[in-house]
A and B are shown apart, each in its own frame.
Chain A
Amino acid sequence: MITRSSAQRRVEAATRTRSRIKWRRLPAQVLTYTVLIVGSLVMLMPLFWMASSSLKSNYDVFTFPPVWIPQPPQWANYPAALTFLPFFDFFKNTMFIAVSTTIGSLLSNTLVAYAFARLEAKGREVLFYLALSTLMLPYAVVMIPQFVIFSKLGWVNTFAPLVVPSFFGNPFYIFLLRQFFLGIPRELEDAAALDGAGVLQTIFRVILPVSVPALVTVVIFQIQMTWNDFLGPLLYLSKESLFTVSLGLQYFLGEDGGAWHWLMAVSTVAIVPVMLMFFFAQRLFIRGIVMTGLKG
C-alpha cells in the first residue's frame, strides 16, 4: 500500500537516477565503514580498558593521564585476584548450573515446541497463547511465592531452585523453536511416518537433526542467561562455597571495592568465556535466529 503510492514518481525518476547510482554508492560506502569502525571502537574500548586495567599495578591504576598498555604487564594480578576468593569454585558452580539448565531447556522445550507446531489437539491455540502471555509476567510477581515454596522444600543453598524450573519449559524458547519447526517441510515427517516412525522417533531422527541452528540459539541464550543471572543466585545461594561468578564478584566488590586492577582481572575472566562461546557459534546462532523469523 505504501509502496504503491510513490510508484509513479519513482518511475519518472528512474532514468535520471540510474546513471547516478554508481558514483552515489561511494560516499555511502565510506560512511558505512566510518560508522562501523568508530562504532566498533566505542564498543571495544570498555573491554580494552578492562583488560588494560587488569594488568596494571596497584599504583598505575590511579595515575593520570592513564597508561593504556601497562609496562610491564602485571600478570600476577590474575592468580592474586582469582585466589582472593575461591573463584575457581565459583566458575565450577556457574558451569554446573549452566550445563544443567541447558540440558533441561533442550529436553523440555523441543518436545513442547514440536507439540505446538505439529500435533493437532483441542485447545492447542489457547494453550499456546497462554504460554506466550507468560512472557509478559515480571519475575517479581512469582519471586516471593517461589522463594517460599523452594525454602519449604529445603532447596535454599542448593542449586535446585536455579536448575529444576528449566526442565519445565520456557515460553521464549517454546516460541522460538515452534517458529523454526513450522518452517521445516512437512514431507520430511510424512516420509518418516510412512516408515512407521512414531512421534518421538520423528522428533529425534527427523526434526532435531535439521534444527541445529535453532538448538544452538537456545543453548547460547540459556548459557548467557545463566552466566549473567544475578537475582536468582542472590536469593538462593548464601553459602560462599556455592557462589556463582556473579555473586562472587559482587561480594568481592563489597569486600575490597578499591582494588580495581583485581576487580578488572576477575571481570575479564568472567566475561571472556561467554564471549568466546559466542564467537565460535555465531554463524549458527545468527542463522538460527534468522530462520526462526523471530518477530510478532
Chain B
Amino acid sequence: MAVPTTTSGRPATGGTRAITRRRGRTLQQQRARMFYILILPWLIGFVLFVLGPMLFSLWLSFNRWNLLNLPVAIGFENYVRMAHDALFWQSLKVTTIYAFASVPLGLAFALLLAILLNQRVRGLAIFRTIFYLPSVASGVAVAVLFLWIFNPQFGLVNNLLSYLGIPGPGWLASADWALPTLIIMSLWSTGGTMIIFLAGLQNVPAELLEAASLDGAGNLKRFRYVTLPLLTPTILFNLVLLIINQFQTFTQAYTMTNGGPLYSTLFYVYYLYQNAFAFLNMGYAAALAWVLFTIVLVLTVIVLRTSDRWVFYQGGG
C-alpha cells in the first residue's frame, strides 16, 4: 500500500512528465480493457459451446446414458467395449483408408490445378471459376448427384465406360468399390484446397523466380527449388486442415450408402451418430468422440512435429 501513495502524492516539480506517462499508461490500459471487451463474444462462446460441452462429453464417456433416464457411472466400460466392438474397428479402418487416400490425392490434385491456374493463360477467371465451382456446392445435392452419376445401370460413368467397351463395376452398390468411389468423388470438390494453394503461389515473390530464370533454371527447376520450398507452409496448412476434415466425413455415408454395402463405408462419425441418435448410446458415442479427438490430435501433432524438417519459412528458419 505504501508504493501507490508515494507515486500519486508526487510533488508538482516533475508534474508534466508524470502526467504524460500516466496518460500513456491509461491509454494502454484502456486498449487492454478494450481487448477483453472485444474478445468477450468469443470467450463466452468458447466456454458455453466448446469448453463446457467438452468437459460434459468427457464425463459422459464414463457413463451409460440413453438421454431419458439419469446417467449411470460405469468407469471405463465404454472404452473397454470399444476394444471388442468389431464395428468400431471397421469404422476406424474405413475412415483411415479414406483419409490416407483422399488427403494426399487431394493435395496433389489441388496443387497441380493451382500451378496451372497460376500461369499466364487466357480465360484465367473462367478456369478458376470452373475448378472452384464444384467445391462451392458440397453437401446433399452433390451426394445425390454422384449417386446418380455412379448408378451402375444408367449412370454417367458406366455409360462412358461402355463406349470404351469396359463393363463398369457396381460402384456404390459394391462392397469393394464403394469406398474408392467416395475417394474419387472427394477429388471433385478439392477447390477449397486449390484456392489456398493459389494464394500461396501468388505470394511467391516474382523477383526470386526471375532471378532463378536468369540463372538458367527451367520451369521444373524453378518449381523444385524456388516455388516448392516457399509453398511448404501452405502445404502444411492444407494438410492439417484436410486431415481434420476427412476424419469427420459424414454426409456421404448418411445420404449415399448408409454405411454399406457390408459396412464398407461405415465412416467413424456416421457410426458415432448412429450410436448417439439411433441407438441412444450417448455415453458410448461420447467415448467414440473422444477417441476420434485423440486420433486427430495425435496425427496433427505428428505432422506439426515433423514439419520443421520440410517446411521452409521465408525470412529465417
Q: Which residues of A are in contact with B by a Cβ distance under 8 Å? A: 1-3, 6-7, 10-18, 21, 24, 28-29, 32-33, 35-36, 39-40, 43-47, 49-50, 53, 61-62, 64-66, 108, 111-112, 114-116, 119-122, 124, 127, 130-131, 134-146, 148-149, 165, 167-169, 174, 199, 224, 227-231, 234-235, 245-247, 249-250, 253, 260, 263-264, 266-267, 270-271, 274-275, 277-279, 282-283, 285-286, 289-290, 292-296
8 new A-B contacts at CB < 8 Å, known A115-B39, A138-B269, A141-B57: A49-B156, A64-B159, A130-B46, A141-B53, A141-B54, A145-B54, A253-B147, A292-B199
Q: Is B26 in the interface zone, CB < 8 Å from A? A: no
Residues of B within 8 Å of A253, CB to CB, are 144, 147, 255
A142 to B233, Cβ gap below 8 A?
no
Q: Which residue of chain A is the closest to B146 with respect to CB atoms?
A: A46
Interface of B is mostly: helix
- A225 to chain B minimum Cβ distance, whole angstroms, is 9
B145 to A267, Cβ gap below 8 A?
yes
16 examples of A-B residue contacts, CB within 8 angstroms? A13-B216, A21-B213, A40-B130, A46-B134, A64-B159, A66-B156, A115-B35, A119-B31, A119-B38, A131-B46, A138-B296, A148-B56, A199-B31, A271-B137, A289-B199, A296-B307
A142 to B140, Cβ gap below 8 A?
no
- A195 to chain B minimum Cβ distance, whole angstroms, is 15
- A207 to chain B minimum Cβ distance, whole angstroms, is 12
A46 to B41, Cβ gap below 8 A?
no
Q: Is B217 in the interface zone, CB < 8 Å from A? A: yes
- A79 to chain B minimum Cβ distance, whole angstroms, is 19
Residues of B within 8 Å of A136, CB to CB, are 240, 244, 296-297, 300
Q: Is B261 in the interface zone, CB < 8 Å from A? A: no
Count, A-B residue pairs, CB within 8 A: 309
Residues of B within 8 Å of A229, CB to CB, are 139
Residues of A within 8 Å of B188, CB to CB, are 43, 46
Q: Is B52 in the interface zone, CB < 8 Å from A? A: yes
Closest 8 pairs between A and B when the two form their complex, measured CB to CB: A168-B45, A14-B216, A228-B139, A145-B53, A169-B42, A119-B35, A115-B38, A121-B35
Q: Which residues of B are in contact with A by a Cβ distance under 8 Å? A: 28, 31-36, 38-39, 41-46, 48-50, 52-54, 56-57, 60, 67, 112-113, 116-117, 119, 121, 125, 127-134, 136-142, 144-149, 151, 153-154, 156, 159, 162-163, 188, 195-196, 198-200, 202-203, 212-219, 221, 225-226, 229, 233-234, 236-237, 240, 244, 247-248, 250-251, 254-255, 269, 272-273, 276-277, 282, 285-286, 288-290, 292-293, 296-297, 300, 307, 311-312
Q: Which residue of chain B is the closest to A31 with respect to CB atoms?
A: B116
Residue of B199, B240, B285 touching A293 (CB-CB under 8 A)? B199
- A182 to chain B minimum Cβ distance, whole angstroms, is 14
A10 to B215, Cβ gap below 8 A?
yes
Residues of B within 8 Å of A227, CB to CB, are 137, 139
